[in-house]
């Protein structure tokens, strides 16, 4: 994406990845959405005249979908999801 002059932001979820610092975990899924919101706000603020999309894969896909439902008025151009297995209430 960088070769196309597209800015990207990413972060390690608590308890995942290789970030330095104390290991911690989410006690509530809303904390995941709160962390995502911090990054989204940063991207929107740093790119006021550029469309901002939120993209997630696997666990990130679930986060993106829930984020869109929790923050429907956020100034995002769109949501991109990838990699989660479709689920039904029957499994």
pLDDT digits (tens, 9 = 90+) for 47-91: 988 889 999 888 888 889 999 999 999 989 999 988 766 666 555
Bridge partners, residue 79, by sequence: 54
Asked whether residue 24 carries a pLDDT value surpassing 90, the answer given is no
pLDDT at residue number 39: 94
Give the residue, 8 or 6, on which the prediction is more confident.
8
Place of tokens 């603020």: 45
Cα 87 to chain centroid distance, Å, stands at: 20
Q: How far apart are CA 91 and CA 81, in angstroms?
A: 20
pTM: 0.77
């Amino acid at each position: 994406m960088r070769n196309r002059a597209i800015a990207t932001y990413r972060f390690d979820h608590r308890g995942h990845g290789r970030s330095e610092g104390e290991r911690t975990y989410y006690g509530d899924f809303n904390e995941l959405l709160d962390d995502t919101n911090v990054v989204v706000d940063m991207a929107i603020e740093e790119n006021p005249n550029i469309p901002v999309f939120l993209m997630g894969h696997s666990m990130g896909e679930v986060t993106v979908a829930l984020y869109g439902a929790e923050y429907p008025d956020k100034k995002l151009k769109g949501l991109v999801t990838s990699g989660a297995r479709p689920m039904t209430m029957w499994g």
